[in-house]
């Protein structure tokens, strides 16, 4: 009886100690932190086509557009969207938009185009409902909008709230560099996605075609 009691006390002690251990941040937590950090960078809005390295290529850090906020945030947590998008486009090119009249993938630019990222997140992540309920949008989610003039836009939901506490804020670059703003419902939402990578190991490197 004494041995049983002692064993139960030992198990209870271990359980309490386990609860007290600090929890590793989730993938979404790390993505949100990376997105918020992007807002500390001064970036000139510039979507000029540029030849870049592959994989791991990027335009100069002081330049970028809305997609570069997403790309750089994911890179900070070990996910190379340039490579991931290129690999998927090579294998399933017909699944991606044909807006630009291309006949083959282009690793210099494909991942920097909102419609391509929408397709990738729909295929490889989770496509979530587009609603008018702010509680449906969680930190780490990706949201796309259509701006006036039919300009597609993308941003990351982060864990900071609007002044009235009703909405999470968005990290995005709409022309003034990466900003943290209360703009979830400022424009027409065209997509809502969640792309969480568990146990990520980089996509195998290959030469662009």
- What's 154's domain CATH number? 3.90.1720.10
Give kind and range of the element (H or E) at residue 189.
strand 188-194
Residue 32 lies in a domain: yes
With CA atoms as reference, report the closest residue to 207 among 117, 112, 105, 122.
105
Q: pLDDT tens for residues 77-91?
A: 999 999 999 999 999
Cα 36 versus chain centre, distance = 12
Token pair, residue 2, equals: 């004494």
Which residues constitute the domain of residue 169?
A: 24-194
Residue 66 lies in a domain: yes
Residue 207 lies in a domain: no
Residue 103 lies in a domain: yes
Residue 11 lies in a domain: no
Q: pLDDT tens for residues 122-167?
A: 999 999 999 999 999 999 999 999 999 999 999 999 999 999 999 9
Q: How far apart, in whole angstroms, are the C-alpha atoms of residue 107 and residue 132? A: 35
Residue 166 lies in a domain: yes
Burial 30-53 (b: 16+ CB within 10 A, else e): bbbbbbbebbeeebeeeeeeeeee
Single pTM value for the model: 0.86
Task: Note the pLDDT of residue 101.
Answer: 94
Residue 167 lies in a domain: yes
Residue 118 lies in a domain: yes
**Rg, Å, the chain Cα set:** 21
Any idea what DSSP says for residue 56?
T
Count structural domains, the chain: 1
Q: How far apart, in whole angstroms, are the C-alpha atoms of residue 179 and residue 11? A: 48
């Amino acid at each position: 009886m004494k041995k049983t009691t002692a064993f139960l006390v030992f198990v209870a002690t271990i359980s309490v100690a386990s609860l007290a251990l600090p929890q590793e941040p989730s993938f979404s937590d790390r993505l949100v932190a990376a997105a918020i950090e992007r807002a500390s960078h001064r970036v000139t809005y510039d979507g000029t086509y540029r030849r870049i390295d592959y994989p791991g290529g990027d335009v100069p850090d002081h330049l970028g557009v809305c997609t570069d906020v997403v790309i750089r945030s994911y890179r900070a947590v070990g996910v190379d969207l340039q490579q991931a998008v290129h690999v998927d486009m090579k294998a399933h090119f017909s699944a991606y938009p044909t807006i630009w009249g291309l006949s083959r993938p282009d690793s210099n630019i494909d991942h920097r185009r909102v419609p391509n990222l929408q397709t990738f997140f729909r295929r490889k992540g989770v496509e979530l409902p587009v609603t008018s309920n702010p509680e449906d949008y969680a930190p780490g989610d990706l949201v796309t909008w259509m701006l006036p003039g039919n300009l597609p836009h993308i941003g990351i939901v982060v864990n900071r709230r609007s002044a009235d506490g009703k909405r999470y804020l968005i990290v995005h670059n709409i022309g003034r560099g990466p900003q943290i703003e209360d703009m979830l419902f400022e424009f027409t939402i065209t997509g809502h996605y969640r792309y969480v990578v568990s146990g990520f190991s980089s996509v195998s490197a290959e030469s662009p075609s």
